[in-house]
Amino acid sequence: MEQTPPVVLLQAVQKSFPLHQGRDLQVLDIPQLAISVGSYTVVQGPSGSGKTTLLNLIAGITMPTSGHIRVSGTDMTSLPEPQRDRFRAAYIGYIFQTFNLLAPFTAVENVMLAMLFAQTIPKREQRQRAVEILSRLGLSTRLAHRPAQLSRGEQQRVAIARALANDPPVLLADEPCASLDAATAQVVLMALHAMCRESHKTVLIVAHDTAALEGADQVLEMRDINRVTGRPDGVDRV
Amino acid sequence: MSRVVYALSCCLGLAVCTLLAYGDEVSRLTFAQLVDSIRANLELTQKIQSYNGKEVEIQGFIIPAGPPDLSFFLLSRVSAIGNYCCELPTGQDETVYVFTAKGVKLFYDPLRVYKVRGRFDAGIRHDAAYGVSLFRLHQAQVEEAVGAKVMKSEGNAATAPGR
Amino acid sequence: MSLYSIAWKYIWGRLLASALTALSVALGVSLILATFLLTRGIRASFIVGATDYSLLVGAKSNPTQLVLGTIFRMDVATPNMPYSVYEQLHDDVRVERAVPVALGDAYQGFRYVGTTIDYFAAAPWRRKTFAVAVGRLWDETPPEQPTYEALLGAEVAQRTGLRLGDAFYEGEEMAEYPLTVVGILRPTYSADDRTIFFSLASFWGMNEVARNAAVKPLTTVLVRPKRLSDLPNLHREFNVNPETQAVLPSAVLLTIFNLLSVAEEVLRFVLEAVVLVVLLYLFVALYSAMLERRREIATMRALGARRLTVLLIVLLEACFIALLGGLAGLVGGHGMAALGAHLLSQRGGLALAPFTVSALQPLLLAGVTLLGGGAGLLPAVLAYRTEVAENLAPLS
């Protein structure tokens, strides 16, 4: 039996958002969640079930109301914000649902930005590394293009390249195929699988289409991990 | 909070004391005194020489004899314009050569009496640019004298335009 | 990739808006710089050009006209007084130097002045110095004989193209008495640059009325007393005299300075308002840019940028725009000031010394950049306080 500690560990994590008139809306109540190293996990659930909030908590973008979150052995919840940000830059690659590329910057520059904030890759090597990652994702002819000049599939691949820029051990993807057609979605999923198998990265995907389930080590339902029962649709972002 | 109030009132008190002290330090000189201080051969009395190097205040009219920035002017018992019929002519004894401090700004009025405060310097001096002078004020500050009377000379009742 | 290049990319990305903002900063800086240079230049030119002589004696007229005509060579009516006034002053034991001046017609707009060569003589109490660039002063011996030799001010030679040895006259009746150029002066940055000088004898010789008059006319006598304390006496004596008036030119200039100060006060108010408007514009432009950019800021934060980092990026943007506008404003300000100086010399006879670059320009630039940073502070704080999770995705 493997005794390696889980790369992501949530313990007694609760998250509430304040509403008007002093009331709170509880979104998450997770007694325990462990993701093992090098695994490919898919988290499923209807909209409004708190999937994005879960990813944000793991990434350290949001803090839980109570409980602890450990990533790669570090307790994120006890870190002060600037250190949490720095940690996130180096240890977590985040692929957003809406790509979130920065408009004034080219593909290469978008990837280099991630390296600028983490400051783990030496300055001299940053550009070359960005070019390498983008080329591996088939974007060698699109290096100097701005997001507005790229197709959706290309934009998503730049987003993936950006997430990989600092060689993080953990990759989080929030509905990575939601705005893609079937063929492009397939390419993206294959790339993510490759990250996992070849580079031994831990991949955690939030998705609600069946194509994403293929090849997953673990499929988690939100209703199984979250004690808070589903909320009505449309109250997703509080 | 009380500490702040205490500190502030100490500062205020100090400022008032300084102002009072400064006010006391400056002696008023009149043109009559200047005239009285001249002996034979243009020698000056010890009394007037004791003011040398000290801050004094003299009131008079401004004669703009220097550049229009008023860096230099003559302070005189008589105004440049004014009543010609009854004034006595003035000379070196009733003229103070004033060198103002940098940045002195004035709204010059030839008929106004001004208070000039500066470092007093008595004795004959020859200057290439300003000629010979007997009395001088250096680093002077100038302000309008409100409600001032021009100092009389030898019983001639020359009164100032009261303000 | 650095914070500087990120800030620069955002400016470049919104080129038109950034350019407009920088332009408004440039305008504000230009106005401030031009105003400062011009007012300082005008004051300096008054001081340099006018105050060697503490007393002017002329015929009874308006004191201001006498000063403006004599010192600034403006075209004002100045009645004549007899030459004997000059002789009286010349012989007066209280007078160090007396210089007679006769104002006359003009050649192509450059005034004729009849005087003695004492006008140009140096003295320890003179601020103004004259130097002959080419040629010489006119011959004054014998003084009664008109020589029609002319000394040109620097700008006269430049504008008319007259050179040494050239003869000129203006108007047909003057054809009999042409003037010959014997010398050209170096620039003095005063009205003398636009003047043509010659001897008094030549002045009277050229003028038909003066030629035949028994009492020769003069416009002014410039007086420097041996002792300044004699000024009030001299001043009074020549004012009491029914034929003459005495003027302290500094007194007249001070009155003009007072007016100038009032104008400067008003101008200062206006400029302060302009600065406020420009800063407000900069603030609004940056603030609205921040509002549009919240998602990108949230993304940067999600990628690991700290709050301070995004704040600095916005501050850098503000400072860059202010700096660019400031640089353009320095150029524009000098241009405006040069134009203003040109107009002043053409219309007002006031010659300003050329504008130099001193500590003022870098100080102004630093001040503009700082103020720009200040205007960008609130938008930068907005970026600082951006809540990441909420702003990562567009509102659906």
Average pLDDT score over residue span C130-149: 85
One domain for residues C225 and C355:
no
pLDDT band at C113 (very low <50, low <70, confident <90, very high): very high
Q: Following CA atoms B61, B64, B65, B67 in sequence, which dihedral angle do they give, to the nearest 10 degrees?
A: 150
pLDDT at position B152 over 50: no
Interface of B with C in 131-150 (CB under 8 A): 131-134
Q: What is the pLDDT of residue B147?
A: 65
Q: Does C122 contact A at CB distance below 8 Å? A: no
Average pLDDT score over residue span B61-86: 78
Is the residue at C196 inside a domain? yes
pLDDT higher at C339 or A177: C339
pLDDT at position A198 over 50: yes
Is the residue at C32 inside a domain? yes
The two most distant CA atoms of chain A are separated, in Å, by 54
Percentage of chain B lying above the pLDDT 90 cut: 10
Interface of C with A in 294-333 (CB under 8 A): 295-296, 299-309
CB within 8 Å: A117 and C300: yes
* Phi-psi sector, C312: left (phi>0), alpha (psi -120 to 50), beta: alpha
The two most distant CA atoms of chain C are separated, in Å, by 103
pLDDT higher at A15 or B92: A15
Across the interface, of C47, C227, C251, the residue whose CB is closest to B92 is C227
Q: Which two tokens stand for residue C257?
A: 């300075």
Is the residue at A157 inside a domain? no
Closest CA to A205 of A64, A88, A40: A40
pLDDT at position C282 over 50: yes
For residue C205, give how far its alpha carbon lies from the nearest alpha carbon of chain B (Å).
Answer: 35
pLDDT at position A1 over 60: no
One domain for residues C273 and C386:
yes
Residues C126, C99 contacting (CB under 8 angstroms): no
pLDDT tens digit sequence for A98-111: 888 999 999 999 99
Average pLDDT score over residue span B95-120: 85
Is the residue at C252 inside a domain? no
* Number of domains observed in the structure of chain C: 2
CB within 8 Å: C125 and B130: yes
Q: Does C51 contact B at CB distance below 8 Å? A: yes
pLDDT at position C326 over 90: yes
Nearest CA in chain A to C302: A61
Last residue of a domain, one of C247, C266, C299: C247
Chain C CB contacts of A94 under 8 Å are 302-303
Q: What is the pLDDT of residue C365?
A: 92
pLDDT band at B20 (very low <50, low <70, confident <90, very high): low
Classified as helix, coil or strand, C90 is: helix
C39 DSSP 8-state letter = H
Q: What is the pLDDT of residue A236?
A: 44
Q: Does C115 contact B at CB distance below 8 Å? A: no
Across the interface, of B108, B131, B134, the residue whose CB is closest to C258 is B108
Q: What is the pLDDT of residue B17?
A: 64
Chain A CB contacts of C302 under 8 Å are 59, 61, 88, 94, 96, 100
CB within 8 Å: A61 and C389: yes
CB within 8 Å: C250 and B78: no
One domain for residues C95 and C241:
yes
Average pLDDT score over residue span A158-186: 88
pLDDT tens digit sequence for A132-156: 999 988 888 989 999 999 998 889 8
Q: Does C236 contact B at CB distance below 8 Å? A: yes
Q: Does B78 contact C at CB distance below 8 Å? A: yes
Residues A172, A94 contacting (CB under 8 angstroms): yes
Q: Does B107 contact C at CB distance below 8 Å? A: yes
Chain B CB contacts of C233 under 8 Å are 89-91
One domain for residues C111 and C221:
yes
pLDDT higher at C47 or C179: C179
One domain for residues C286 and C232:
no
Tell me whether chains B and A touch (3+ CB pairs under 8 A).
no
- Domain housing C43: 3-47+258-391
Q: Does C390 contact A at CB distance below 8 Å? A: yes
Q: Specify the pairing of strand B72-76 against strand B95-100.
A: antiparallel
Q: Does A105 contact C at CB distance below 8 Å? A: yes
Distance CA C68, CA C62 (A): 10
Average pLDDT score over residue span C372-377: 92
Distance CA B118, CA C394 (A): 71
CB within 8 Å: B69 and C50: no
pLDDT band at B163 (very low <50, low <70, confident <90, very high): very low
CB within 8 Å: C229 and B92: yes
Distance CA A163, CA A175 (A): 14
pLDDT band at B86 (very low <50, low <70, confident <90, very high): low
Q: Which two tokens stand for residue C63?
A: 């004191």
Average pLDDT score over residue span A56-62: 91
Enter the ipTM: 0.88
- Domain housing A72: 8-100+167-225
Q: What is the pLDDT of residue B148?
A: 53
One domain for residues C117 and C59:
yes
Average pLDDT score over residue span C227-253: 87
Chain C CB contacts of A90 under 8 Å are 304
Q: What is the pLDDT of residue B99?
A: 92
Q: What is the pLDDT of residue B23?
A: 52
Q: In this structure, which CATH number among 3.20.10.10, 2.40.50.870, 1.20.1560.10, 1.10.10.60 belongs to the domain B27-144?
A: 2.40.50.870
pLDDT band at C219 (very low <50, low <70, confident <90, very high): very high
What's the length of chain B?
163
Chain A CB contacts of C390 under 8 Å are 237
- Mean pLDDT over all residues of chain A? 86
For residue B32, give how far its alpha carbon lies from the nearest alpha carbon of chain C (Å).
Answer: 16
Closest CA to C36 of C256, C369, C249, C275: C275
CB within 8 Å: C301 and A61: yes
pLDDT band at B132 (very low <50, low <70, confident <90, very high): confident
Average pLDDT score over residue span B71-84: 77
Q: Does C389 contact A at CB distance below 8 Å? A: yes
pLDDT at position B16 over 50: yes
Per-position DSSP letters for C152-198, written without gaps between them: E-HHHHHHH---TT-EE--SGGGTTS-EEEEEEEPP-SSGGGGEEEE
Q: What sign for the dihedral angle of Cα C288, C292, C295, C300?
A: negative
One domain for residues C272 and C182:
no
pLDDT at position C389 over 80: yes
Last residue of a domain, one of C187, C220, C247: C247
pLDDT band at B119 (very low <50, low <70, confident <90, very high): very high
Interface of A with C in 51-90 (CB under 8 A): 52-53, 56, 59, 61-62, 81-82, 85-90
Nearest CA in chain B to C50: B67
Q: Which helix (H) or strand (E) holds C150?
A: strand C149-152
pLDDT at position C318 over 90: yes
pLDDT at position A167 over 80: yes
Q: What is the pLDDT of residue A233?
A: 45
- Mean pLDDT over all residues of chain C? 87
Last residue of a domain, one of C220, C247, C274: C247
pLDDT at position C224 over 70: yes
Helices (H), chain A: 51-59, 81-91, 107-118, 123-136, 152-164, 182-199, 222-225
Q: What is the pLDDT of residue A209?
A: 75
Is the residue at A90 inside a domain? yes
Percentage of chain C lying above the pLDDT 90 cut: 41
Q: What is the pLDDT of residue A237?
A: 44
One domain for residues C234 and C293:
no
Across the interface, of C51, C96, C251, the residue whose CB is closest to B110 is C251
Q: What is the pLDDT of residue C255?
A: 82
For residue B88, give how far its alpha carbon lies from the nearest alpha carbon of chain C (Å).
Answer: 9
Most confident of the following: A132-136, A224-228, B22-26: A132-136
- Mean pLDDT over all residues of chain B? 76
CB-based burial of residue A20 (10 Å sphere; 0-12 exposed, 13-18 middle, 19+ buried)? exposed
pLDDT at position A193 over 90: no
pLDDT at position A191 over 60: yes
Distance CA C348, CA C361 (A): 27
Q: Does B128 contact C at CB distance below 8 Å? A: yes
Q: What is the pLDDT of residue C273?
A: 94
Task: Report how far Cα C46 is from the mean position of its chain's Cα atoms.
Answer: 9
Average pLDDT score over residue span C330-350: 84
pLDDT higher at C98 or A230: C98
Q: What is the pLDDT of residue A238?
A: 40
Q: Does A104 contact C at CB distance below 8 Å? A: yes
Q: What is the pLDDT of residue B22?
A: 54
Q: Does C392 contact A at CB distance below 8 Å? A: yes
Average pLDDT score over residue span C365-382: 92
Q: Does C370 contact B at CB distance below 8 Å? A: no
The ranges assigned to domains in chain B are 27-144
